[in-house]
Structure 1
Amino acid sequence: MLEIKALAEQNRFPPCVRRGGVFPFDNRPAWVNCLLRVLTAAPETHVTPGGQRRHGTAGPALDALDAGLKRAGVSVEFIRIHHQPDGRFPAGVPNPMLPENRQSTRQAVIEHHADAGIAWDGDFDRCFFFDERGDYVENYFLVGLFAEYFLRRYPGSRIILDPRLIWNTLDVVARCGGTAIVSKTGHAFIKARMRRENAIYGGEMSGHHYFRDFGYCDSGMIPLVLMLQILGADAQPLSHLMRHAQARYPVSGEINLTVNEPAALLHDVAAHYAPSASGRDDCDGLSLAFADWRFNLRASNTEPLVRLNVETRGDAALLVHKTHEVLMLISALQAAKETL
């Protein structure tokens, strides 16, 4: 990639025999029609999502989808903020996984009394939801919500999930009669596993959601259409739909840590915890399970970081304790490495 970048910056290209041309083509009408196939019925409830894009590319796509929803008879009003694409990102990096980037969506939901909030990353292949109180909803719990949605309609189907947080999704899939399959994190791995298993749906806690009827690929807009469908068909607000799962399996949220040698760190953490663990999975980083808590520690595929996720079985105090414990161990291991 760096070589291609250097060639482009040098602008030294050999002359071509035949010059190419530009032929404009608008594929948005077909794309919107594809998204609208998700709707089994036009939601009757008036749903008002506050939408944040932080000047990424989702704005024009949302406008096209909004027009299609209205033609389909969906009663929806979008409150748009940071709507126009701007590569300078004047409102900050468009990454709603970072807590500091959520405040404007939260404020918009509260100010406009919206039914929900949604935010996208820069290229809108990931989406993030906020409930009617403006509280951020971990994607982990949305994977369970969407898995249940599909399994109610396609009984016995297969659901793909990543190994970072799993207990809630495993419970939902088992209760609804489906088959849960854990895959290595990352769109290349999830898409391949979706195809191999012919899975109806796959979800990552990073905000990527994959759909069999979308070529087994991820979409940042289909989850919005699904949420409109769910909220329109259920009298409960989003916070109520999430509360039982959130209480059963409290989570730490993803914690990013900069370390010098990720592989060595995972080895040392495993040496400390694995002897007392009831289960271990190395399909993507290190996952260790105990009677009432578990964690996943993995190196980022794209950044010089390790990412930690912790969950417990209904014990918020234990969650705080164990998250702190793992972080202190990592800090001690890092300090020991630096003194060598």
Structure 2
Amino acid sequence: MAIEHTAETLKSVIKAYDVRGVVGETIDEDFVRVAGAAFAHILRKEGETRIAVGHDMRPSSPSLSEAFAEGAASQGLDVTLLGLTSTDELYFVAGTQRCAGAMFTASHNPAQYNGIKLCRAGATPVSTDTGLGEIARMILEGVPDFGGEPGVVDKHDALDEYAAYLRELVPVPTGRTLVVAVDAANGMAGMTVPAVLGKLDIDIRPLYFELDGTFPNHEANPLDPKNLVDLQKFTVEQGADIGLAFDGDADRCFVVDERGEAVSPSAITALIATRTLAQHPGATIIHNLITSRAVPEIIEEHGGTAVRTRVGHSYIKAQMAQHSALFGGEHSAHYYFSEFFNADSGLVAALHVLAALAEQDGPLSALMQEYDRYAASGEINSEVADQAAATQRVVDAFADRAETVDTLDGVTVQLKDSKAWFNVRASNTEPLLRLNAEAPTKEEVDALTSEILAIIRA
């Protein structure tokens, strides 16, 4: 039975910058076939002629990607099926081949979910304002008929080209054979990590490399600390120099040091920023407003220009283009590179960290000390019925202690006479408020977090 959507229910599936839902409940082959036709209609009107379609290892991904391809071809677009692909591999194809792209993945979400990440030629992201809203309208109202010949559907395996491109982008010096523990979480990194790192002076110790979209070992969401536990233990057991954890579609990379301690994505952002500035003095670096204040401090100390932006890849990529920035980092371990079409890649970030580690003799924990200056709460979610009212309660409670309050994304409060700050922002899709706080010490951030959560949850 076909899934019927209203304008209201469609909002839960077509989000700000991707499509995501439960297979069989909110998305199915009929739905993505129409979505493919709608996207192709938009592209054809803009003069585009081809789209590359890739998919992850989820059980539903092959059939959904083929249905999407059928829809796109029905509107006259040629389609290249890439087969099993990481999201950043799709961006590579869209960037180097100058074609649009569609990636079937639900990233870190559980197995019952799937979705689509869309981009235009050059890996330019598609958001609500730049195509997703129009696709939603056509799903509800119908896609205009196309009277021409359907497009041609062919297949191409881009893995080796992608791997070679990344190795050339960030050379890792020889001489120090790094032992690298990698948790692929049964996701696409199980395919891309051997292809990219396998030809380097690296001893890979694999964990959960079998492609399995049912995620039999743990969720492919390394942002949640419980999903790092296996890698932390494995890294120490293997005597590895570093541990890498990837999400399901391998566009994010998390790092643990030789002791099994998690390394903050903000510290990784600062490390890659300093490497970028060493090669390109005075460059502009993007960071979102949830990253540590250490990030802009370090960028400026190394002669760069730090630009602060909202959370979310479409915002980061837009700011990358607007400011001609060379690198951008987020607290969620998305890292963006101008040399990679302003797109994010977990493996490009990993190569930077591996290169930095191989260039010196010390352990990763010592290397990262200068980039980790403050204590952070991490992102804490609270379910609230009225997000705006809860946010206002927090703002009112800190009115006398706030040095500044800004509303770039949610509310960010900088406290007086302190390097402590916090951000409260609402989820776009769930009745949640997300809290991030930072202070000079763990005791200070713990106290600040407890106080704010008590107000939010009152």
Q: Classify 1:66/1:321 alpha carbon distance in 2 versus 1 (closer, same or farther; 3 Å).
A: same
Q: Which residue identity lines up with residue 439 of structure 2 in the other structure?
A: T
Q: Which residue identity lines up with residue 165 of structure 1 in the other structure?
A: T
- How far is 1:303 from its partner? 4.3
Measured against aligned partners, the alpha-carbon deviations of 1:98-155 in whole angstroms (never above 9, x if no partner) come to: 1111111011101100001011111111110000001111211111111111111111
What corresponds to 2:53 in structure 1? none
Q: Classify 1:10/1:312 alpha carbon distance in 2 versus 1 (closer, same or farther; 3 Å).
A: closer
Listed as ranges, the matches of 1:59-74 within 5 Å are 59-67=190-198, 70=199, 74=200
- Tell me the distance in 1 between the aligned counterparts of 2:376 and 2:327: 22
Residue among 127, 136, 140 paired with 2:262: 136
- Tell me the distance in 1 between the aligned counterparts of 2:201 and 2:231: 21
What corresponds to 2:184 in structure 1? 53
- How far is 1:268 from its partner? 2.0
Measured against aligned partners, the alpha-carbon deviations of 1:269-326 in whole angstroms (never above 9, x if no partner) come to: 112213421122211111111132111111234544222111113x222122111111
Measured against aligned partners, the alpha-carbon deviations of 1:178-237 in whole angstroms (never above 9, x if no partner) come to: 000001110000000000001010000101000000011111110111111100002221
Q: Which residue identity lines up with residue 438 of structure 2 in the other structure?
A: E
- Tell me the distance in 1 between the aligned counterparts of 2:349 and 2:327: 11
Q: Which residue identity lines up with residue 8 of structure 1 in the other structure?
A: D
Listed as ranges, the matches of 1:246-261 within 5 Å are 246=372, 248-261=373-386
- Tell me the distance in 2 between the aligned counterparts of 1:133 and 1:212: 32
- Tell me the distance in 2 between the aligned counterparts of 1:150 and 1:83: 31
What corresponds to 2:444 in structure 1? 318
Whether the 8 Å CA contact 1:184–1:283 is kept in 2: the answer is yes
Whether the 8 Å CA contact 2:253–2:347 is kept in 1: the answer is yes
Q: Which residue identity lines up with residue 114 of structure 1 in the other structure?
A: A
Moved more, 180-189 or 234-243: 234-243
Q: Which residue identity lines up with residue 299 of structure 1 in the other structure?
A: A
Secondary structure of residue in 1 paired with 2:456: helix
Structure 2, unaligned stretches of length 5 or more? 1-9, 15-25, 35-66, 75-147
Q: CA RMSD in A?
A: 2.5
Secondary structure of residue in 2 paired with 1:278: strand
Structure 1, unaligned stretches of length 5 or more? 333-340
What corresponds to 1:266 in structure 2? 391
Listed as ranges, the matches of 1:287-326 within 5 Å are 287-290=412-415, 291-292=417-418, 293-313=420-440, 315-326=441-452
Moved more, 250-259 or 181-190: 250-259
Q: Which residue identity lines up with residue 304 of structure 2 in the other structure?
A: G
- Tell me the distance in 2 between the aligned counterparts of 1:144 and 1:5: 39
Listed as ranges, the matches of 1:9-88 within 5 Å are 22-40=153-171, 42-67=173-198, 70=199, 74-88=200-214
- Tell me the distance in 1 between the aligned counterparts of 2:155 and 2:281: 42
How high is the TM-score relative to the length of structure 1?
0.88
- Tell me the distance in 2 between the aligned counterparts of 1:226 and 1:6: 39
Whether the 8 Å CA contact 1:43–1:229 is kept in 2: the answer is no
Q: How many equivalent pairs are there?
A: 325
- Tell me the distance in 1 between the aligned counterparts of 2:209 and 2:153: 27
What corresponds to 2:247 in structure 1? 121
What corresponds to 1:5 in structure 2? 27
Structure 1 consecutive aligned stretches of length 4 or more whose deviation exceeds 3 Å = 1-4, 9-22, 301-304
